[in-house]
Structure formats: structure tokens, C-alpha cells
Amino acid sequence: MVIIVYDIWTEKYRPKDFDEVVGQDKIIERIKAFIKLKQIPHLLFAGPAGTGKSTLALIIANKLFGKEWKQNFLELNASDERGIDVVRNKIKDFARTKPIGNVPYKIIFLDEADALTSEAQSALRRTMENYSSICRFILNANYSSHIIEPIQSRCAVFKFSLITNDDIKKRLKTIIEKEKINIDSSALDAICDLSNGDIRKAINLLQTSAINSEKITEKAVYNVAGLGRPKEIKKMLEYAIKGNFLDSRKILNNMIYKEGVSAFDIIKYLSSTVYEMKISEKKKAAIIEKIGEYEFRLLQGANDIIQLESLLASLSVIK
């Protein structure tokens, strides 16, 4: 079984059309208008991972340059090369050469641009000014606030939003149908919930689950993700709140030792589960306060098991 997960930078499978980006309709409409006029400004794509930023940049290059896209498109990852030298050397060398074909400019795609140092961003600003007649920049950042204001003012800024579960589910169903994957509806819901709006993560979860199980169930998805199932975490929390410390500890140890769930993941899902509990607002506030305190302890390097057991003991005392 081969899941449709591909390297977007290869010639054979590179994204070619806008329907490969889901959940960003308003942004795509504006980009289409730019491409129709063949007048692309400097662009800044900002938003969470797995929302289509890199894919859209490659689609723009494909639409503008066609078969000559490789000669007119340079992709760099700023997290690997974050200093001023990459701007002075690689970017400037590519920017100063003339484009090939009918489009009067080339494109430099700078992924994870928010990882650039402030000195590198200042040098990039000057490069954008000096070569704007023959080169356009597409900057990709998770946090636009990490990009200096002079660069932001020179770019058309597009804020990407998290992909909704409905859009993720539509794309996954397309893959499931083509690959003839046997999957439960509850497992599909679990993948959408675990992806947190990241469609790349959702596809990877589907792929890994399909490799490990002939029929994908909710349990298989959570095992692959290395996370405790919400029902188990809710049950553990209920035991603790009722004062049944030993039973809640038994579930905790099972998740950590047998299922390999990390302490931080347990803390995270405990926090979200509290709001679903049928308990008073005052008690919810007290529990959230305790969870925050023990997360801080874990961040300081305290022993995972001891701290989580201590958290459950504290919740039992709250009763």
C-alpha cells in the first residue's frame, strides 16, 4: 500500500494547481488576480505549519514560469542558513541575474524567514529594494511579528488560517478512496482532531496508521501518534477528582509505560479535558491552576512520573 504523500519539490509530483491548497480560498483568489496580470509583488505568507504556504509558493512558480520554473525559482530554508552571508551570497547572486522566459522577474522563496537574524533581515531589505525590477521574494513565516517592519511594509501580507476539520476530512477521504484504505469513521475523526489544523500532519498520521494496520481504528491512530486516548485521560481525571487516586495512577502508568505517551502530552490533554467535565466552575479553575503548576515543574526538568502522580494526588485532595 502506498499512500499519496509526496515530496512537493520533485518534478514529477510538484503541486501544479490551486485545488491542492485547501481552506485558504480568499488568499487564493487574490493570488489568482496577481498571476492573471503577471504582476506579483513581494509576498509574505504567515501562519501555522501545514496550512499550504510552501505549496502555494510552488504553485505560483508553476503558473508563472511553466516548464522553466526551475531556472527562475530559488528555494532556501532560513532555519538552516540564518546569517547575513546567505543574503550577501546565495540570494544576491541569484537575484542579480536576468530571468529566463517571458516573465520579467524571478522568484526567491525564503522558507522559515522568521528564523533570519535581524542583521540578515536588514540586508534582505536592501536586496529587495535593489533588485525589485528583476526579482520577487516570497517569504514564509510562522510568526509575521518576527519579520522586521521595513520588510513587512514592502510585502503583500497573507495570513493563513488553520485548516478546518471538515476540509482536512475531505482531503483525507480523497486519499482513502484512491488508496482503498479500510478505516473507521471514529479513526478519521481522531486523525482530524490530532492534526490541530495541520493537513500535513493529518496525512502523515493516515500514512503511518495504514502501514501499521490493515484496518485503521481509533486505537491504532492514537498508538501511532503516541498519545493517550481522550477516553482514558478523561477516566483518569474522573477517578482523581472523585478521590480514587490508585485507579487514576494505574491508568497513568499504563499510558506512560505501555503506550509510551509523553508527560507533556498527558498534561496537554488533561487541560482540554477539564472543560468537558460536569463539575463546578470553581473546581475547574482549581484543577487548571494545578495543571499549570505541574507543567512548569516538568519544564524545569523534574521527574515526569513523580510529578504526574503528584498532580493526580493533588486533584484527589481537591475533592
pLDDT value at residue 319: 62
- Asked if residue 13 is part of any domain, the answer here is no
**For the chain, give me the number of helices (H) and strands (E)?**
15, 7
Contact between 183 and 216 (Cβ < 8 Å): yes
Mean pLDDT confidence for 82-90: 66
Q: What is the pLDDT of residue 86?
A: 65
Q: What share of the chain is helix, strand, coil (3-state, %, to 5)?
A: 60, 10, 30
Let me know whether 248 and 261 are in one domain: yes
The percent of residues above 90 in pLDDT, for the chain, comes to: 16
Give the integer Cα–Cα distance in Å for 271 and 258: 22
**253 and 120 in one domain?**
no
Q: Which domain covers residue 61, as residue numbers?
A: 18-159
Q: How many whole angstroms separate alpha carbon 307 and alpha carbon 76?
A: 42
Residue 192 pLDDT = 87
| Reported confidence tier of residue 227, pLDDT bands at 50, 70, 90 | low
Residues 6+ apart with CB under 8 A from 116: 78, 82, 87, 110, 124
Does 23 fall in a domain? Answer: yes
Residue 313 contacts residue 245 (beta carbons within 8 Å): yes
Indicate if 302 and 286 belong to the same structural domain. Answer: yes
How far is residue 114 CA from its own chain's centroid? 15
Question: Domain with 186 in it: what CATH number?
Answer: 1.10.8.60
Neighbours of 68 (CB within 10 A): 15
DSSP labels for 277-305? SSS-HHHHHHHHHHHHHHHHHHHTT--HH
The beta strand positions in the chain, using DSSP E, are 43-46, 73-77, 106-111, 135-141, 156-159, 182-183, 215-216
45 pLDDT more than 90: yes
Judged against a pLDDT cut of 90, whether residue 15 lies above it is answered with: no
Q: Are 220 and 190 in contact (CB under 8 A)?
A: no
Buried b (16+ CB within 10 A) or exposed e, 76-97: bbbeebbebebbeeebbebbee
Residue 154 and residue 38 in one domain: yes
pLDDT of 43 above 90: yes
Are 313 and 209 in a shared domain? no
pLDDT in tens, 170-183: 889 988 888 888 88
Q: Is the entire prediction scored with pTM above 0.85? A: no
Per-residue pLDDT tens over the stretch 249-260: 998 888 888 777
Q: What is the pLDDT of residues 187-198, one digit of tens each?
A: 888 888 888 888
Question: What percentage of the chain has pLDDT greater than the value 70?
Answer: 90
The DSSP result for 169-201, as a single string, is HHHHHHHHHHHT-EE-HHHHHHHHHHHTT-HHH
Among 210, 225, 240, the domain-final residue is: 225
Domain assignment present for residue 10? The answer is no
Tell me, yes or no, whether 239 and 202 share the same domain: no
Q: Are 165 and 192 in contact (CB under 8 A)?
A: yes
Final residue before a domain boundary, out of 175, 198, 225: 225
Low-confidence winner among 40-44, 51-55, 102-106, 228-232 (lowest mean pLDDT): 228-232
| pLDDT reported for residue 83 | 58
> What pLDDT, on a 0 to 100 scale, did the predictor assign at position 6?
41
152 and 26 in a common domain:
yes
The residue among 25 and 9 whose pLDDT is bigger is: 25
Residue 10, pLDDT above cutoff 80: no
Question: How many other C-beta atoms lie within 10 A of the C-beta of residue 169?
Answer: 18
243 and 207 housed in the same domain = no
Same domain? For 216 and 239 the reply is no
Does residue 3 fall inside a structural domain?
no
User: What confidence tier does 158 reach under pLDDT thresholds 50, 70, 90?
Assistant: very high
Q: What whole-number distance in Å separates Cα of residue 115 and Cα of residue 81?
A: 9
For residue 6, is it within any domain?
A: no
Q: 217 and 240 share a domain?
A: no
pLDDT number for residue 276: 79
Select, from the ranges 9-18, 47-56, 71-80, 92-101, the one with the highest average predicted confidence (pLDDT).
47-56
Cell numbers describing residue 158 = 497573507
Asked whether residue 153 carries a pLDDT value surpassing 80, the answer given is yes
**CATH code, domain with 254:** 1.20.272.10
End position of a domain, from candidates 104, 139, 159: 159
> Count of CB atoms within 10 A of residue 226's CB?
11
27, 160 Cβ separation under 8 angstroms: yes
Averaged pLDDT of the chain: 84
The total number of structural domains in the chain stands at 3
Whether 2 is in a domain gets the answer: no
Q: Are 263 and 228 contacting, i.e. CB atoms less than 8 angstroms apart? A: no
* Inter-CA distances, 118 with 74, 110, 312, Å: 22, 15, 45
Residues 99-151: tens digit of each pLDDT: 888 888 999 898 888 888 888 888 888 888 888 888 999 999 988 888 999 99
